[in-house]
Structure 1
């Protein structure tokens, strides 16, 4: 009975093998007309302003790609030993292994055994899903046979090792080596190589960080297989199997630490540079303006200052003299939302738009001491009425200067100025400073109803910060190939947008937002953060029911901070309303700690003089009143100033 059974079993086995062989040959004929191509490997490395690499990007993934010559032989041997011993002998499909797997699957009536070769696994990573169906398996076989006809074994092995998932968001053996052991793939020891080769079987189950015992068990299995295959000596096996591994857990492309919103901008910008077209195949080194230390400081400030609510924030920092973008943060948590609010979102800027109104006024004969009455006012415009209010309906009740209106964000002064000039004047100024889209010539434009992005507002302020000169904003300074041959180099253009003296008058006036001596019945809007500042800044805050802004600068840096809800929910909490100002102060002050540069301020233009007056009334001070220097053009002095005597 037993002999008969074994005889039948033998016949069935031979028959199955023959059928399988015929099946494979049929498939080989079919694949003749197939032409699957491995993806062209395009590596992009991003470097910060200090030439430190902060991102490796390969074929659409934030990962490093490494050539086979730069992978430890221990690692390649470990993978071949455990995954595909006959890798260098078969043609993409291992008929011997598959025969055994087919019998087991027929007995179980399911696809429990795969017997996939390295080529098949690579094909699955590239083109297919992981579902266990006969249809997917047949497609996998067909494509694998086609790939093996067109590519060498080493090309396939290299691609495979760079495509595998290793848990913790890690793809490829290079980043896995850095993440788990803080070393390059070429420097792995035998036991480390075995540990990494253990993971793809079940990335979470065999992660040496999440499940070290599981990893150890499989690692020792791989070491035994390598010993049995003659790939390591008995001494190597004994020593490596006893070694206790220490894992690091440091992702070189971790979005939490590597300025992910900035990364996205760089990758988008690369598509717009024609000089690199057709030159990406060998890989690119992209040198950017990112100050990673400043980004870290901003991120730390967000973690420290942001309330535990759904309110969001966006920050944009630039170096005004060069146009370099130093840091961009598009939200509180990139892992929760990749939407870049600093670039893609448009919100009402509120009073942070007013400096462009007052610059327009200075260009049209106003001085910083020009006064209007701060009182409840109804305006009549185009047969309609408009009745704006000040914050909490607080008014000075007398004539106030432009300097005071800037400091306390007096809306009545702003609208009076706007209508006095004519609404089209401010529209033209905003267009000149680069604001895009439809800009309505209406009274409320003076109070910031025209929606802008954080990027757009920062770039406009950078012109003020650069004394009226615009420098083309830059995030990529240079691009080279992997041999350091320069393919592209940024050449920012400079153009004069506003008169230096007019901008100087405005910048000096904008320092008043931090001057608590100008408090009358309401404090200047920046007084709450004055104690955090160690140098001189020009700034302006802005607020609407749904948005809060703080934008400020000096010759060294310009920073904008926006906060608000994505769904435009009204901001009610005082914590929600104030935290952006603290992030702004943290950011500008961190810049000096990080760079070590000495803070600077603008030289007074030759056609400008200062006069000691009361900055609130814009007139000479009465006894006991607060005074400070207010700046004027010599050719446009207040009526009460006699330049020869003053």
Structure 2
């Protein structure tokens, strides 16, 4: 044996061992990547729906994806994909050697990397487990892993993973996402041409994005159809019909967020779910998008009216804002939640995050405590001025509260005092009933951080509009407060459902609450809330104004729906002269309910009087009473009585 031959044999043995060692090393490495594909678990977008199952928003992080099982994917779509990407997919073991050889020859002829020859299995591996580096080492890893994966997963499982992981342009990951995103269709509704357009995208998703390059997208889809026809997978009629079609393509936003203040609050309340934006949840709200749109419209209506009254104040437009909350009184369901007049300018949610002084909106609660202590609607209290002296850090101070107008009415009934929102009479009522009783009542109705002094009579403490909506249910729901619920249920990707069940608090008897509801109707018919009237609908409510018109509230309700409206400036400075609760928010309240009646003409229109409420006319004025809150009789009374 010649020396040359021995050297050659030795070289071959060493080379063989090296190759075996190299391949073995690579095989050892790719085993670690197998789990990424076999146990594939991509991030899946969460969807939020309103009470009528209409999409409110999509939530996602880096990748916007909906997952589709293989059974959901139409066979025609699979054929279109294989025609253009991997015709022999169901025949090769994961690697197509013929395609690789053809690609190598083409690359040599072009003196550059022009074609890869990768199967769909290899493409899946490259996208999920490996880098996109064009190196021999990565290519060998890719082939080894493809051969291994094909022994573990079925062809259908590989296709399912490929079609769900692949990027289809425009921010869409997965075939289901692209179908809904580009065409607003489920996959079983797609035409053959639309399917061809979709399967064309993975090769160059940005270039073939039909929202950017429609003609190029059509051209690429026609190539897919031509290939399907050549393979005999479609007939001439299908081919001609599809070639002539020009599908409608939509350029929608990914989130489709139509109620951003609501969506922000959902995320805040569900912040404890770590995979909220990638776990594929379905969140069903109590929000009604029709109510939401009306509330947004009504809030902006009132906003523009305020601006129109103060045209010379150039800074008002930048600082003025508002909030609108709508509840279903009998359930506590939040039907609308608007945290500002323009989310794009400010995403701060004033409906839930802003704590503002409630002003005279506190008065119904004080009068409810008064009637529960045994006073009747016609009980008289003095509307007279008082001066209160007190000390702060040893310094002597005076408090001299006033009515909104300078007039004093002497003795007035509870009904008249609340109807006209008399400050002085209310303060005297608090003292007469007892401050401790009134203070405990305020806390019992749901308010917190309440100062322990007489300023509570005028609503010196703060609450958010949503908190006001919750607490005002003691009137709109006749004594029963149900914690407001934004969400009805949440469903995880496996179909498990969790329902949101609110806590219920019975704070007073329905007949006692109705004594105040009756007065609150009078507030709108004859008092400070006249601008809140709604033609053809009984409504009740209370205005609320703080010092110097810094905050303006209207808290009101119909027989079934409650609405809280607030306006103010974000810097807590005055809005301007006359911007009271009866002027600023009351018209927005009226606007909302007027439009709501057009939307839902069957809405309950009249309040129902509970059992145990009596009705008596005294000196020409009607008063209601219960056994707990009897009327005071006078010698000159004339009465007619009905007891329910």
Query: Where do residues 228-627 of structure 1 align in structure 2 (5 Å cutoff)?
Result: 232=234, 236-247=238-249, 254-256=256-258, 259=259, 261-262=261-262, 288-302=285-299, 306-307=303-304, 309-310=317-318, 311-333=320-342, 340-371=349-380, 374=383, 377-381=386-390, 385=397, 387=399, 394-399=405-410, 400-436=412-448, 438-471=449-482, 473-477=484-488, 494-516=504-526, 518=527, 524=528, 526-530=529-533, 532-544=534-546, 545-566=549-570, 568=572, 570-572=574-576, 580-595=585-600, 596-603=602-609, 605-612=611-618
Q: Is the 8 A contact 2:76 2:192 kept in 1?
A: yes
Aligned counterpart in structure 2 of residue 637 of structure 1, from 603, 621, 631? 631
Unaligned stretches of 5+ in structure 1?
1-18, 519-523, 613-619, 621-626
Q: Mean Cα displacement is larger for which, 597-606 or 332-341?
A: 332-341
Residue 263 of structure 1 and its aligned partner are, at CA, apart by 5.4
Task: Count how many residue pairs are aligned between Structure 1 and Structure 2.
Answer: 590
Residue 219 of structure 1: aligned partner = 221
Deviation sequence 1:449-482 (CA, Å, 0-9, x none): 3222222211111122121123454455567789
Q: Counterparts of 2:461 and 2:357 in 1: how far apart (Å)? A: 6
Residues 631, 76 of structure 1: alpha-carbon distance in 2 compared, 3 angstrom cutoff:
same
Residue 4 of structure 1: aligned partner = none
Residue 448 of structure 1 and its aligned partner are, at CA, apart by 2.8
Deviation sequence 1:56-85 (CA, Å, 0-9, x none): 868778865432222233434444555667
Q: Counterparts of 1:454 and 1:113 in 2: how far apart (Å)? A: 62
SS of match in other structure, 1:498: coil
Q: Counterparts of 1:203 and 1:566 in 2: how far apart (Å)? A: 45
Q: Is the 8 A contact 2:46 2:279 kept in 1?
A: no
Residue 558 of structure 1 and its aligned partner are, at CA, apart by 1.2
Q: Mean Cα displacement is larger for which, 328-337 or 55-64?
A: 55-64
Residue 497 of structure 1 and its aligned partner are, at CA, apart by 0.7
TM-score (norm 1): 0.72
Q: Counterparts of 2:250 and 2:625 in 1: how far apart (Å)? A: 61
Residue 73 of structure 1: aligned partner = 75
Residue 10 of structure 2: aligned partner = none
Query: Where do residues 110-129 of structure 1 align in structure 2 (5 Å cutoff)?
Result: none
Residue 624 of structure 1: aligned partner = none
Q: Counterparts of 2:225 and 2:21 in 1: how far apart (Å)? A: 36
SS of match in other structure, 2:566: strand
Residues 272, 503 of structure 1: alpha-carbon distance in 2 compared, 3 angstrom cutoff:
farther
Residues 199, 547 of structure 1: alpha-carbon distance in 2 compared, 3 angstrom cutoff:
farther
Deviation sequence 1:582-604 (CA, Å, 0-9, x none): 43223334444444133131315
Residues 161, 582 of structure 1: alpha-carbon distance in 2 compared, 3 angstrom cutoff:
farther
Q: Is the 8 A contact 1:557 1:588 kept in 2?
A: no
Residue 552 of structure 1 and its aligned partner are, at CA, apart by 0.8
Q: Is the 8 A contact 1:55 1:252 kept in 2?
A: no
Q: Counterparts of 1:347 and 1:97 in 2: how far apart (Å)? A: 74
Q: Counterparts of 1:556 and 1:600 in 2: how far apart (Å)? A: 9
Q: CA RMSD in A?
A: 5.2
SS of match in other structure, 1:585: helix
Residues 116, 348 of structure 1: alpha-carbon distance in 2 compared, 3 angstrom cutoff:
farther
Q: Which has the larger radius of gyration?
A: 2
Residues 78, 611 of structure 1: alpha-carbon distance in 2 compared, 3 angstrom cutoff:
same
Residue 253 of structure 1 and its aligned partner are, at CA, apart by 6.9
Q: Counterparts of 1:575 and 1:115 in 2: how far apart (Å)? A: 73
SS of match in other structure, 2:350: coil
Q: Mean Cα displacement is larger for which, 115-124 or 169-178?
A: 115-124
Q: Counterparts of 1:369 and 1:128 in 2: how far apart (Å)? A: 82
Q: Is the 8 A contact 2:371 2:377 kept in 1?
A: yes
